[in-house]
């Protein structure tokens, strides 16, 4: 492993991966340091927008104007959920790359 130096204390002897430090913490330590936690998966419920799209398509087939509203609303909702899921994936990938200095308790990217 490449030697990493903490940007705060400029030492390299007590650097570990943040995820290893987090998994080694006891429950009391995790409760005391929520800022070190892995970003949670946001509650993404795909059934709502998919259901709205399905109902919208059924209404479009019957030539109801509400079908357009349902399809448009479901599409916008799906796109926003997709963007939210991508943002969460980026935050989690960044968290996996972060390092932790046990000397000064600083979190940083290599």
Q: Where are the domains of the chain?
A: 15-108
Task: Tell me how far apart the alpha carbons of residues 78 and 85 are, in angstroms, rounded to a whole number.
Answer: 10
Its pTM stands at 0.65
pLDDT-above-90 percentage for the chain: 11
In three-state secondary structure terms, 37 is coil
Task: Tell me how far apart the alpha carbons of residues 32 and 17 are, in angstroms, rounded to a whole number.
Answer: 19
Does residue 4 carry a pLDDT above 90?
no
Question: Which residues, listed in sequence order, are joined to residue 106 by a DSSP beta bridge?
Answer: 101
Q: Could you tell me the pLDDT band of residue 99, with boundaries at 50, 70 and 90?
A: very high
Write out pLDDT tens, residues 63-77: 888 888 888 888 888
What ranges in the chain are assigned the alpha helix state H? 18-24, 27-32, 47-61, 65-97
């Amino acid at each position: 492993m490449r030697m990493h130096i903490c940007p705060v204390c400029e030492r390299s002897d007590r650097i570990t991966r943040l995820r290893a430090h987090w998994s080694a913490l006891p429950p009391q330590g995790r409760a005391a340091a929520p800022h070190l936690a892995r970003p949670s998966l946001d509650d993404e419920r795909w059934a709502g927008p998919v259901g709205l799209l399905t109902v919208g398509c059924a209404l479009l087939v019957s030539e109801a104007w509400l079908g357009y509203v349902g399809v448009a609303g479901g599409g916008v909702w799906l796109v926003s959920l997709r963007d939210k899921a991508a943002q969460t994936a980026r935050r989690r990938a960044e968290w996996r790359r972060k390092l932790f200095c046990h000397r000064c308790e600083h979190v940083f990217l290599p």
